[in-house]
Amino acid sequence: MPVWRIMCFHNERGRDLFSEAYARQTARARAKFRVTIEVLRDQPTIEGWSRQNGFDLLTGKKYRRYHGLGKIRFKTPDAAHRPLGFFGPVQGTFTLLVWATERDGQFDPPNVLETALHRMREVENNSGLANECNF
Amino acid sequence: MSVISKKFADELNEKEMRDAYLEEKTRAKLAQQIRSLRLQRNWPQSKLGSLMHKPQSNIARLEDRDIARYTLSSLFELASAFDVALVVEFVAYDEFLKRTQNLSPEHLQVQSFSRQALDPLCSDNTIIQLNDVIGRLSGTIGNLDRALSRWSNVSNRERVYLPNIQATPSTIYGQVAGTGFLSTNSPEAIVVQSGPTMTIATGSLPMTAISAVAPYGMAWITPNLLDSSLTYPRLPAHNPPTDPSPGDWHVR
C-alpha cells in the first residue's frame, strides 16, 4: 500500500483539471509522470521526496511567494515537465494542482505559479476540492 | 486495494503508452533497487564503485533512471558486487504490474548470498521445518484499519499452518535471524494471527523468505507466495486448527 496518497485539484464544478491536462500529454510524458508519482508515493518519509526521485520544493528568494508549492520533475525529449502540487490538505497527502513545463528557469504557462498558488489556497480553505485523481 | 486504477488499465490499452510505461517503470525499479541495495549495506557510492572497478560517477548514473545505460553486463556486475541473484525474464503485463507495484526502498532490499539459505532446497519439499521458514520479512505494517482493509482485498487466500513458531509477533516488523524460505517472487500479503490479534504485512516483493511469527500462530499466505516448484501443505480457508502440535507443517 502506498505511503502517500496522491490527490488532484477539482474545481468548484467538480472538474478534475489536473487529470484533464494529464490526458493531453504524450504517452511518454504520461508514462514518466506516472512512474515518478509511483516512486514518490512509496517513499517512507518526506525526505524521499527528493530531486533524485523527481521532486523539488519551490524554495529561495525567487519563490518566496510560492512557499509550500513543489514540482514533480521529469523530462521527455520535447520538454521538462513540472507538474505542481503541495503537501496537503491532510497529512500524508500530496495534491496535484496544475501541469506545467519549464524552460530556462521559466515556467510555462507563465502564470502557472499564480494558478497553483490560487488553487492551493482554495484547497486549504476547502479540502473537498482535493479528490481522487481521474487518471 | 487494487494494483492499478481502471483508468490506467484502459490507458495501457494504448500500445505507445504500454511501451513507454514498461521502459520507465523498469528503469525506475532498477535505479531504486540499486540505491536501495547499496544503502542496505551502508555503502557509499564510491564503495560500490570500487567493488565494480568503476568510478563513483558511474554508480551515480546507475542510480539515476534518466541517464543510466543498463546492460546485461552492468547488471551482472551489480549482482556480483551485491552478491545477489538476477532475474531477467519476459512476463505478461498483469504480472509485471504486480511485481513492480511497490517501489519502497525497504521492499527492494535483498540479502546477499547465504549457504544456509539453500538448505531448504535440499530437503523434502513436502515437509518444511519451522527453522527453514525463518527468513527476512520487511514491508509496511499498517494500522489495524489498513490491515483489515488489505486483508479484505486478499482474494483466493489459502491458509498454511506454521506450528511451533518461536518468535514474538513484534519480530515480524524486522529482520529475523536465520535462514530458510518460502520462495516467492511477489508476495502480496502475509497475515499472521496471534491469539485475537491479526497482523498483515505487505510489500515484500524481492523477498525470498518469509518469517511467520507468533506462538502457534496462523499464517495466511496468498497463493502467489507459494513457489510452484515446491509443494506446501495447505489448509482450507476458514478452518484454522486450534491445537497445533509442534513440528512440521500440518494440513487439517
Domain locations along chain A: 5-125
Asked if the Cβ–Cβ distance from B142 to A31 is below 8 Å, we say no
Please indicate, yes or no, whether residues B93 and B133 belong to a single structural domain of this protein: no
The number of beta carbons lying within 10 Å of the beta carbon of residue B70 is 16
What pLDDT is recorded for position B119?
A: 82
Q: Which residue has the cell 499464517?
A: B219
* Counts of helices then strands in chain B (DSSP H, E): 8, 5
Domain that holds residue B88: 6-104
Does A31 lie at the interface with B, CB-CB under 8 angstroms? yes
Residues of A in contact with B32 (CB under 8 A): 39
Give the C-alpha separation, A132 to B184, whole Å.
Answer: 33
As a whole number of angstroms, the distance between CA B170 and CA B189 comes to 17
Beta-bridge mates of residue A71 = A56, A84
B110 lies in some domain: no
The predicted model gives B150-169 an average pLDDT of: 37
C-alpha cell at A72: 514533480
Q: What is the pLDDT of residue B29?
A: 96
| Amino acid identity, position B17 | M
> Residue B20 is nearest to which of A28, A42, A48, comparing CB atoms?
A28
- Please tell me whether residues B91 and B134 are part of one structural domain: no
Q: Answer whether residue B45 shows pLDDT above 80.
A: yes
CATH 3.90.550.10 fits A5-125, yes or no: no
Q: Residue B139: pLDDT band by 50, 70, 90 thresholds?
A: very low
Q: Which helix (H) or strand (E) holds B36?
A: helix B15-40
Chain B contact for A71, CB < 8 A? Answer: no
Number of domains in chain B: 2
In whole angstroms, give the CA distance from residue B189 to residue B118: 24
CB-nearest partner of A38 from B23, B64, B103: B103
B251, pLDDT greater than 80:
no
First-to-last alpha carbon distance for chain A, in angstroms, is 18
Q: Which of A31, A74, A75 is nearest residue B21 as measured by Cβ atoms?
A: A31
pLDDT at position B121 is 83
- Same structural domain for residues B182 and B216? yes
A135 contacts on B by Cβ (under 8 Å) = 5, 7-8, 11
Q: Are residues B131 and B39 in the same domain?
A: no
Average pLDDT of chain A is: 95
> What CATH number is attached to the domain comprising B56?
1.10.260.40
**CB-based contact (8 Å) between A52 and chain B?**
yes
> Is B22 within a domain?
yes
CA distance A133 to chain B (A): 10
Let me know: does B32 contact B105? Beta carbons within 8 Å. yes
**Residue B152 confidence (pLDDT):** 46
- Residue B119 and residue B221 share a domain: yes
A79 to chain B, any CB pair closer than 8 A? The answer is no
pLDDT, mean of residues B209-234: 35
Query: Is B145 found in the same domain as B94?
Result: no
A9 with A96: CB under 8 angstroms? yes
Residue B185 predicted with pLDDT over 70: no
Q: How far is CA B146 from the centre of its chain?
A: 19
CB A18 within 8 A of CB A105: no
State which residue of chain B sits closest to A32, comparing Cα positions: B24
The C-alpha cell of A90 is what? 491532510
Mean pLDDT of B234-251: 37
Q: Are residues B127 and B194 in the same domain?
A: yes
User: B106 to chain A: nearest residue by CA?
Assistant: A44
pLDDT in tens, A27-69: 999 999 999 999 999 999 999 999 999 999 999 999 999 999 9
Three-state secondary structure call for residue B52: helix
- Which of B1, B17, B106 is opposite residue A30, by nearest beta carbon? B17
In angstroms, the CA B225 to CA A36 distance is 28
**Residue B123: its pLDDT value, please?**
67
| Lowest mean per-residue pLDDT among A75-79, B187-191, B245-249 | B245-249
- Mean pLDDT value across residues B182-210: 37
CA–CA dist A70, A84 (Å, integer) = 6
Banded pLDDT at B2 (limits 50, 70, 90): confident
Which three cell numbers, joined as nine digits, stand for B188? 502480496
The answer to whether residue B109 scores a pLDDT higher than 60 is: yes
d(CA B224, nearest CA chain A) in Å: 17
Between residues A48 and B122, which one has the greater pLDDT?
A48
- The pLDDT value recorded for residue B124 is 56
Q: Cβ-count burial of B81 within 10 angstroms (0-12 exposed, 13-18 middle, 19+ buried)?
A: buried
Task: Identify the band that residue B12 occupies on the pLDDT scale cut at 50, 70 and 90.
Answer: very high
Q: Which residue in this structure is represented by grid cell 564510491?
A: B46
